[in-house]
Amino acid sequence: MDGFKRRKGEKEDRIYQAALELFSMYGVQKVKITEIAAKGQVSPVTIYNYYGCKHGLLRTVIIRFMNDKYSEYEEILNTEVPFPKKIDKIIFDKQQTARILHEDFLRYIMSKDPEIQKFIEKFYLEKSLPMLMEIIKQGRDEDYVSQDISIDALLLYITLFKEVINRPELILNENKTVQMELSSLFFYGLMGKGNKC
C-alpha cells in the first residue's frame, strides 16, 4: 500500500472511531461535523470530501459498525468453546452494545433511509441469516437446540424476531433490560439458559 492510501485509511479510521463514539454518546442530531473532525484530528473539509455530508458519513459508520460486529460474532462462532459460552459471549456483547449506543443513533440504524434499508436487508440475507443458521447448527451438533424443530419453524422464529427489531417503536421506548431479555429469550427460549434437549 502506498503512503497516500495508508494515510487516507488512517484518516478514515480516525473519522469512523470519532463519529461512532460521538453518535453513540450524544445521538446523531446533536453531533456536528466540526466535533467529529476535532475528535478525529482531521479538518471538516476532509470529512466532506470523503463522505459528502453528515448523512453520508452516518451511512458509512452504520455499515462499518454492522460489518465489524459481524466479524466479532463470526470470530466467537469459530472458537473451540462450548455452545452456551458462545451464546453468552454474543448476548454479553449485545448488552454492552445496547448500553453504549444512544437511542437516536439506533433510530438511524433502523431508519427508513432507502440506502440503509437496502444495506440492512442485504446484510440480513447474506450475513445475519447464514450466521444464525450456523449458530443453530452448532447448537444442534452439541444437543442444545432440539433436532425435532424443523428448519421452517426455526426460520419463522427468526423472522418473527426480525419483524420486532424492524419496528423501532416497539423496542426503542423500552428499557435496555427488556431488550436484553428479548435477546436471551431468542437464544434460550422460555426454559432459560443452559438446558440441553
- Identify residue 82 by its one-letter amino acid code: P
Give dist(CA 130, CA 65) in Å, integer: 19
For the chain, domains (ranges, CATH) are: 1-52 (1.10.10.60), 60-197 (1.10.357)
Q: Which one-letter amino acid corresponds to residue 83?
A: F
Say yes or no to pLDDT of 197 above 50.
no
Q: How many CB atoms lie within 10 A of CB 83?
A: 20
Residues 6+ apart with CB under 8 A from 114: none
Poorest-pLDDT segment among 19-28, 64-73, 101-110, 168-177: 168-177
State the Cα–Cα distance between residues 71 and 14, nearest whole angstrom. 19
Whether pTM exceeds 0.85: no
- Cα–Cα dist 1/82, whole Å: 40
Give pLDDT tens digits for 128-150.
Answer: 989 989 988 998 898 888 888 88
Within 10 angstroms of residue 169's Cβ, the number of other Cβ atoms is 8
Give me the pLDDT at residue 43, please. 96
